[in-house]
């Protein structure tokens, strides 16, 4: 819809220098009309000048009259035989220009002179769409009285005049079009869905990528890596447990490692933010447009006057309720709930209203702003629950099967720091736990939430509360005290402190990554395994680090990178681990004087 407004602007850019084009025939009448010089126009017409001679950009005298809404000039030109159907170089006819301006009297004159109310612009847009976009009832009436097709669709996105009125939040125009027979349930054409969450590749994905050991081995007949390094392995393989002092992280790395990993990160970024080339989206209705624009009056008219199905979905499964929730237009969401909206319809990616509202309440920091909600997040969440929202709904999308859950991760607000929590199968409780949202966690439990439901990748609510998925300076947290309370709550509710996800990480790996000593102590007291091995990191999928796995203390030493973050050392947390491990007789890996080094610069090479 925004693109179509640009088309209109291009159409009225009439003053183009003649020097920009090859030699063109003179257009004295159009030139005089461009200056609104009616005396000159009359004189030229008396001299038999061509009333239809176009300027270099295709603009004729009658086009200028329509653009300036000069009805007197239009009468002069029409009487002299002006062709009211001639478009300019951008495809804009005089009626097109008059409709953009909502010039009712001009529209009447042009139609009476032979302009077609159903003519099409370059992208199939009609005069009625242009008039609806401006909410001009009189202009729309003239066009409809002259048999304009009220349900015509333009060819760029397949939208109708009613959708144009809704997208511009014109309730009076919506009511008028509905009275005249507009199809309130019409949907736009298939379109691209748009970007996805900016998520770092997992260890398994990196192993199978062009630079990973699995892919390299598949393409060559090279011998397996030396013993002690381990081959590339899938998520289901049991992690090797090398001796505590078997690995030197300062050892030289493969010189190609950094470039290859950078390429993988670029591919992930392009997948998230590059041009979308798919037909998963589209299917938007006037109700969805009105909801997105936060026009409550428009929504009421479509529901009560237009009798639309409030649970109609777009091609990607978005209902108006999901749209309202995603955009924090909670008052519209509340209205829809009161008029039959189903709070348990998820879109094709698995997002449901309760999960989206939970994410909104705990949105991370980032590079672009988000709008403030028009009612309190928690009050809206309570309303969803009161209306029957399933508190244990998992983020499982249309591609899921009875045994496999696949869902979309929520959109992120940063283009520089990858997230590393895949939200397939996540529940609202787990998402609240990630941000230490204790108040919401308690509310959900009171209404039957199961805190033990993990994500499809085996990540638990305890793990995210402890630090799995944490991005310093980005992930939102209510407070450190509430974070500790959230961890304690998950433990009290029986979440296993030694549950490992499909990357082999436990809650203790997360706490070590985050550097929270209180959480580390709490997990240790609950029986968390201090020397649990993960399945490696982004730096262990090839080269000298191939096959190495990490224990929690390694995370505190700045040896483990997740996402595209730098490895961060936490001396206090490291000291606590040394104390805890010594008390249990667990060997403490030898210290090194530097963290993971991948570039020739940090190695001191020239």
Average pLDDT taken over every residue of the chain? 86
pLDDT at 253 (0 to 100): 46
Give just the sign of the alpha carbon dihedral 109, 115, 118, 120.
negative
Confidence of residue 196 (pLDDT cuts 50, 70, 90): low
Q: Which region among 106-115, 143-152, 275-284 has the lowest average model confidence (pLDDT)?
A: 275-284
pLDDT at 602 (0 to 100): 35
Q: What is the pLDDT of residues 420-457, one digit of tens each?
A: 899 999 999 999 999 999 999 999 999 999 999 999 99
pLDDT at 367 (0 to 100): 78
CATH match of 2-14+28-183 with 1.20.1600.10: no
588's tokens: 């403490």
**CA-to-CA dists, residue 328 to 67, 292, 362, 370, angstroms:** 39, 9, 13, 9
453's tokens: 């439901």
Question: Is the model's pLDDT at 357 over the cut of 80?
Answer: yes
Confidence of residue 410 (pLDDT cuts 50, 70, 90): confident
Question: Is the model's pLDDT at 508 over the cut of 90?
Answer: yes
Give just the sign of the alpha carbon dihedral 8, 14, 20, 26.
positive
The angle that helices 353-361 and 377-386 make with each other, rounded to 10 degrees, is 160
Q: What is the pLDDT of residues 101-133, one digit of tens each?
A: 999 999 999 999 999 999 999 999 999 999 999
Rg (CA), the chain: 32
Q: What is the pLDDT of residues 557-590, one digit of tens each?
A: 999 988 767 788 999 999 999 999 999 999 999 9
Who's near 385: CB < 8 A, 6+ residues apart?
Answer: 354, 391, 443, 447
Of 510, 567, 500, 564, which Cα lies nearest the Cα of 535? 500
Q: How many other CB atoms are found less than 10 A from the CB of residue 496?
A: 18
pLDDT at 599 (0 to 100): 37
Q: Rounded to whole angstroms, how far apart are CA atoms 462 and 454?
A: 9
Confidence of residue 288 (pLDDT cuts 50, 70, 90): very high
Whether residue 162 contacts residue 178, with contact meaning beta carbons closer than 8 Å, is answered with yes
Segment holding 191, helix H or strand E: strand 190-191
199 bridge partner residues: 419
**CA-to-CA dists, residue 103 to 127, 134, 136, 284, angstroms:** 11, 10, 9, 29
Give me the DSSP letters along 434-487.
HTT-HHHHHHHHHTT--TT---TT---HHHHHHTTT--TTTS--S-HHHHHHHH
Q: What is the pLDDT of residues 200-255, one digit of tens each?
A: 777 777 667 665 666 555 445 444 333 332 223 233 333 333 333 344 444 444 44
């Amino acid at each position: 819809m925004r693109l179509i407004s640009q088309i209109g602007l291009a159409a009225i850019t009439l003053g183009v220098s003649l020097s920009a084009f090859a030699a063109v025939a003179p257009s004295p009448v159009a030139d005089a009309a461009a200056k609104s010089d009616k005396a000159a126009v009359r004189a030229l017409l008396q001299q038999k000048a061509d009333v239809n001679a176009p300027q270099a950009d295709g603009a004729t005298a009658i086009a200028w009259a329509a653009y300036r809404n000069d009805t007197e000039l239009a009468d002069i030109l029409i009487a002299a035989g002006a062709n009211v159907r001639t478009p300019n170089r951008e495809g804009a006819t005089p009626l097109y220009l008059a409709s953009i301006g909502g010039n009712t009297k001009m529209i009447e004159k042009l139609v009476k002179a032979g302009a077609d109310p159903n003519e099409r612009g370059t992208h199939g847009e009609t005069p009625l769409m242009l008039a609806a976009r401006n909410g001009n009832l009189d202009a729309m009436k003239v066009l409809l009285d002259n048999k304009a097709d009220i349900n015509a669709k333009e060819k760029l996105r397949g939208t109708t005049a009613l959708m144009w009125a809704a997208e511009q939040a014109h309730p009076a125009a919506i009511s008028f079009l509905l009275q005249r027979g507009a199809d309130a349930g019409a949907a736009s054409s298939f379109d691209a869905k748009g970007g996805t969450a900016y998520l770092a590749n997992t260890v398994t994905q990196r192993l199978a990528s062009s630079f990973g050991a699995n892919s390299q081995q598949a393409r060559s007949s090279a011998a397996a890596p030396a013993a002690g390094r381990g081959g590339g392995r899938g998520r289901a393989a049991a992690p090797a447990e090398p001796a505590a002092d078997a690995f030197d992280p300062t050892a030289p790395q493969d010189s190609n490692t950094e470039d290859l990993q950078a390429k993988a990160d670029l591919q992930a970024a392009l997948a998230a933010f590059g041009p979308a080339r798919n037909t998963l989206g589209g299917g938007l209705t006037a109700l969805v447009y009105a909801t997105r624009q936060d026009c409550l009056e428009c929504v009421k008219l479509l529901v009560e006057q237009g009798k639309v199905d409030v649970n109609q979905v777009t091609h990607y499964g978005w209902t108006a309720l999901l749209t309202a929730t995603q955009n924090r237009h909670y008052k519209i969401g509340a209205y829809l709930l009161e008029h039959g909206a189903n709070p348990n319809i998820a879109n094709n990616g698995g997002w449901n209203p309760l999960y989206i509202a939970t994410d909104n309440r705990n949105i991370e920091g980032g590079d672009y702003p988000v709008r403030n909600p028009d009612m309190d997040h928690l009050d809206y969440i309570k309303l969803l629950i009161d209306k029957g929202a399933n508190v244990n709904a998992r983020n499982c999308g249309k591609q899921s099967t009875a045994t496999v859950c696949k869902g979309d991760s929520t959109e992120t607000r940063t283009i520089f720091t990858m997230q590393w929590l895949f939200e397939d199968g996540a529940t609202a409780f787990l998402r609240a736990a990630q941000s230490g949202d204790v108040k919401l966690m308690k509310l959900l439990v009171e209404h039957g939430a199961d805190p033990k439901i993990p994500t499809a990748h085996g990540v638990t609510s305890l793990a995210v509360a402890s630090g799995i998925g944490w991005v310093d300076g980005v992930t939102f947290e209510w407070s450190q005290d509430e974070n500790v309370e959230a961890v304690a709550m998950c433990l009290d509710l029986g979440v296993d402190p030694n549950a490992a996800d499909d990357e082999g990480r436990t809650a203790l790996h997360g706490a070590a990554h985050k550097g929270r000593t209180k959480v580390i102590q709490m997990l240790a007291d609950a029986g968390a395994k201090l020397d649990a091995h993960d399945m490696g990191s982004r730096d262990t999928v090839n080269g000298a680090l191939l096959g190495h796995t990490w224990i929690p203390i390694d995370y505190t030493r700045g040896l483990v990178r997740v996402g595209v973050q730098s490895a961060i050392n936490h001396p206090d947390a490291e000291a606590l681990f040394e104390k805890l491990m010594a008390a249990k007789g667990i060997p403490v890996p030898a210290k090194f004087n530097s963290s993971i080094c991948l570039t020739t610069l940090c190695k001191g090479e020239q």
